[in-house]
Structure 1
Amino acid sequence: MRQQASVLHLDLDAFFAAVEQRDKPSLRGKPVVVGGTGGRGVVSTASYEARVYGVHSAMSTREARARCPHAAYLGGRFHAYRAASAQVMAALREVSPLVEPLSLDEAFLDLAAGPQAEGRDLSVAGVAELAERLRARVHEVTGGLTASVGVATSKFMAKVASDLDKPDGLVVVAPGTERELLRPMAATVIPGVGPATADRLRRAGIHTVADLEAVSLEELVRLLGRAMGAGLHALARAQDDRPVVAEREAKSVSVEGTYETDLTDRALMEGLLTRQARQVAERLRKHGLSGRTVSIKVRRHDFTTLSRSSTLASPTDAATTIARTARGLLADLDTSGGIRLLGVGVSGLADWIQEDLFADLERAEQAEQESADEEVAQVPAELLSRRTTWSPGSDVEHDEWGRGWVWGAGRGVVTVRFETAETPAGPVRSFAIDDPRLRPWLPPELPDQPTDDPLLPGDHGENRSPGGVPGS
């Protein structure tokens, strides 16, 4: 265990929604929900203004609309989220070479690593001052995003600390005070204590970390099994010596989503895998790559993680092939207890694709499926330029009015609010959906490598109109 509080955990506040509010002045201070906007949609992120009404991640969009009908319901703009994430990760690397991204909006860094740490004051006051400067730097480079930060002697405690003063807070856990801080907390604060494990602990009379700390290792192993029992026994005593590990070059392309509420609907899981497969395929095509091995990652309600893979006869970059294989792999898994995480990946990368007689048919099938499944999968930006489908919240540009974003669409009309992050709240105008003066706006691409890039928190993006505006 470390003797100093030198592990920092940074978590961007309501990340997807905050980026939308940053880029859309008319939505600042108002409830915003990012995710699926159709009848079968799922909330990815809700702004804090929407959370007041009980809207949260992994809730169905239908329920979210019932709780907060006046919110703006937007599909995801992952290019904007990736750009903001890259700015944050670069700011973190100014402080330490050891940065461990957990997702687009979350990372650990080691304050005691690298030449930057020479002579650094790692006292509680010193790391608090450093963390405040880092939060200010994140706010500066992202154009106003806020972050909650925890600093402690371990990754576990730093993560706990960052959750204590949300949003836009900072908590430093002084060395030696970890167990005192943990004891009153519910046992579910410990990673691995999901609903099923928590229920098993409750039946044994264990409700808090203090209760858990009082149980012997042997009893916990008997209750939960050797791996889980030993892990909880250590974490209940704040024992966590895992190092911060800098990101490694990945040899696969993958997308995954983590959900605050367990998913139990099998059709929804298949829909999410389908959308993730399309994102993977899009990124493969972007880099001129294909892959032979399709895999899925599933983290169950009790935090057990399962992986399944299937190797194809030849490399592919076809979304339908990847999605079909992923759904088949899911069919072999027991998901009845609920799922916390889903992911799709392709490995065995190659820079060629086997041309065969079915290639054109596959691409035609993919286009047809994309059109039919708009309530389940976000339409890729390049398809928007060829179709009269306008995703709510997506960036557009008009020959006369300039840049703006899609407010809503329906009945042959698309409504646009013309504003950007650099302008005041702008006017709203409506156009025919096939107006040649209106087109999607795509920013210059950031340098992007075919590496693992999990889109957290939750990675749902679906099409329909935002609530509380025309077309909803």
Structure 2
Amino acid sequence: MAERSGHHEHAPVILHLDMDAFFASVEEVDNPSLKGKPVIIGASDRGVVSAASYAARKFGVHSAMPVARARKLCPQGIFLPGRHKRYGEISRLVMREVANFSPLVEQTSVDEAYVDITGMGLLHQSPRVLAMRMKERIHEVTGLTCSIGIAPNKFLAKICSDINKPDGIYILPPQDIPAFLTTLPVGRIPGVGKRLEAELNSLGVRHTSDILRFTEAFWAGRLGEKAAQFLYARAKGEGNAVLRPHAAPKSSGAENTFRADTNDREELKRWLMRQSERVGRDLRKEGYFGRTVTLKMKFKDFRTITRSRTLARPVQCTDDIFRAAEELLDAESLPMPLRLIGVSVSGFSRGERQLGLWDEPGEEEMLRLDKALDAIKEKFGGTAVFRGRTFDFWRTGK
């Protein structure tokens, strides 16, 4: 890495790629008139910001912020609903180009990936030259910029990719890690949230290396053994350098924020049916079955709860997912209206599930019906056919 020296020459070299303001940047490339303007992805005042251009960030707008607050901070902002199918298309182009530089790629989100480039620097003169070529190729294919961090492990590479954003490169050689950690705020460690950061700060621990002023036993007594091991490893610059290419997804979910808070159970169930269709279609497309169905509910005071049920057998049928979510909802008292509801499925297995003596009558037929509906929607669009329970969504435009 900086560039092969002494006993560090065989250290892993991990690259973290992070697309710059990805959703907003795609909108700017597709519509050049938006270039340099405060573009904010998230149009409903009931929702949250998915992404913000750098021009919008100057006003304090950032992802996960309520759209209503973003409008107050940046009234001149250009608020767009987002085109996630388009973002997915561009993401696939990016990852295809990344894979041309190394076979070991772990994609962690639509706009981020780790790449093991250990030894690849020999083919490209150095890791820096490799990073520059990767950036150039991505820009050539998509018109987008990205930022890259290179370090001996994933935790440090991710931090490094954020240092020279946007359109930057930062390389951290092994010999520079101790000095780097003396100036790295503890809040920059992935996995350290606001509450833990505040607790660490209260003990005078402001930079990552400050953690080592206390023994690991001290941290175990204060935070628990697992958290202590995590913090101590990070304070020494240690992290995982093993990538999981093509890692299987852990869950599939769908959720919606309502235009107006509601505790109308029939309306909530219509949303659950619509979401169960989306999740079931995703499972069937990828060939997964899931055993755990989770219901997510956010109340009007923003308190969020989840309820889960592990089923006797793995499912991918829309009706099975919906019935489990419906039963979870029926068991809740709903002390106040909800602003959001969602359903997800986890506990995946792959392959055809063998229908047995205990399966519901007609389940095989229901699964065939689901697949037929999937095919129709894939060919003619999502509104080509719909279930009776979701009719009101299409009739009223909800």
State TM-score, norm by structure 1: 0.61
Secondary structure of residue in 1 paired with 2:149? strand
Residue matched to 1:254 = 252
Shift of 1:12: 0.3
Residue matched to 1:72 = 78
Shift of 1:162: 0.4
CA distance in 1, matches of 2:33, 2:61: 20
CA distance in 1, matches of 2:173, 2:331: 44
Residue matched to 2:41 = 34
Q: CA 1:329–1:233 in structure 2 vs 1: closer, same or farther (change >3 Å)?
A: farther
Shift of 1:70: 1.9
Shift of 1:81: 0.9
CA distance in 2, matches of 1:207, 1:329: 47
2:291 maps to which of 293, 312, 334 = 293
2:32 maps to which of 1, 4, 25 = 25
Do 1:3 and 1:153's aligned partners in 2 also have CA atoms closer than 8 Å? no
Q: CA 1:214–1:2 in structure 2 vs 1: closer, same or farther (change >3 Å)?
A: farther
Q: Does 1:120 align with 2:105?
A: no
Q: CA 1:97–1:348 in structure 2 vs 1: closer, same or farther (change >3 Å)?
A: closer
Shift of 1:316: 2.0
Q: CA 1:129–1:327 in structure 2 vs 1: closer, same or farther (change >3 Å)?
A: farther
Residue matched to 1:139 = 139
Do 1:148 and 1:170's aligned partners in 2 also have CA atoms closer than 8 Å? yes
Secondary structure of residue in 2 paired with 1:30? coil
CA distance in 1, matches of 2:97, 2:324: 36
Residue matched to 1:182 = 181
2:52 maps to which of 38, 46, 53 = 46
Do 2:208 and 2:234's aligned partners in 1 also have CA atoms closer than 8 Å? no
CA distance in 2, matches of 1:33, 1:326: 37
CA distance in 2, matches of 1:326, 1:105: 36
1:355 maps to which of 351, 366, 385 = 366
Q: CA 1:218–1:343 in structure 2 vs 1: closer, same or farther (change >3 Å)?
A: farther
CA distance in 1, matches of 2:201, 2:19: 32
> Equivalent residues in 2 for 1:159-198 (5 A)?
159-198=158-197
Shift of 1:183: 1.4
Q: CA 1:193–1:69 in structure 2 vs 1: closer, same or farther (change >3 Å)?
A: same
Q: CA 1:354–1:104 in structure 2 vs 1: closer, same or farther (change >3 Å)?
A: same
Residue matched to 1:420 = none
CA distance in 2, matches of 1:169, 1:44: 22
Residue matched to 1:316 = 317
CA distance in 2, matches of 1:54, 1:326: 42
Shift of 1:364: 2.1
**One-letter code of the match for 1:355?**
M
CA distance in 2, matches of 1:90, 1:323: 38
User: Would you say how many aligned residue pairs link Structure 1 and Structure 2?
Assistant: 335
Shift of 1:282: 4.3
- Bigger RCO of structures 1 and 2 (CA < 8 A, at least 6 apart): 1
Residue matched to 1:469 = none
Secondary structure of residue in 2 paired with 1:181? helix
State TM-score, norm by structure 2: 0.72
In the alignment, structure 2 segments of 5+ residues that lack a partner are 1-7, 256-260, 297-305, 334-341, 354-362, 374-385
Shift of 1:296: 4.6
Shift of 1:206: 1.7
1:364 maps to which of 380, 385, 388 = 388
Measured against aligned partners, the alpha-carbon deviations of 1:280-308 in whole angstroms (never above 9, x if no partner) come to 244346x396845344599xxxxxxx995
2:64 maps to which of 31, 34, 58 = 58
Measured against aligned partners, the alpha-carbon deviations of 1:125-160 in whole angstroms (never above 9, x if no partner) come to 711111011011111111x11101000111111111
Do 1:315 and 1:353's aligned partners in 2 also have CA atoms closer than 8 Å? no
Measured against aligned partners, the alpha-carbon deviations of 1:383-420 in whole angstroms (never above 9, x if no partner) come to 7xxx795xxxxxxxxxxxxxxxxxxxxxxxxxxxxxxx
> Equivalent residues in 2 for 1:266-305 (5 A)?
279-284=278-283, 287=285, 291=289, 293-296=291-294
CA distance in 1, matches of 2:93, 2:158: 21
Residue matched to 1:211 = 210
Structure having the larger proportion of residues in helix: 2
Secondary structure of residue in 1 paired with 2:310? strand
**One-letter code of the match for 1:102?**
T
Secondary structure of residue in 2 paired with 1:73? strand
Secondary structure of residue in 2 paired with 1:183? helix
Residue matched to 1:232 = 231
**One-letter code of the match for 2:220?**
V
Percent identical pairs in the alignment equals: 32
Secondary structure of residue in 1 paired with 2:238? coil
Shift of 1:176: 1.0
Residue matched to 2:93 = 87
Q: CA 1:170–1:223 in structure 2 vs 1: closer, same or farther (change >3 Å)?
A: same
Q: CA 1:326–1:145 in structure 2 vs 1: closer, same or farther (change >3 Å)?
A: farther
CA distance in 1, matches of 2:108, 2:40: 22
Residue matched to 2:300 = none
Shift of 1:62: 0.6
Q: CA 1:327–1:100 in structure 2 vs 1: closer, same or farther (change >3 Å)?
A: farther
- What RMSD over aligned residues (CA atoms) do the two structures have, in Å? 4.0
Shift of 1:367: 3.8
**One-letter code of the match for 2:26?**
V
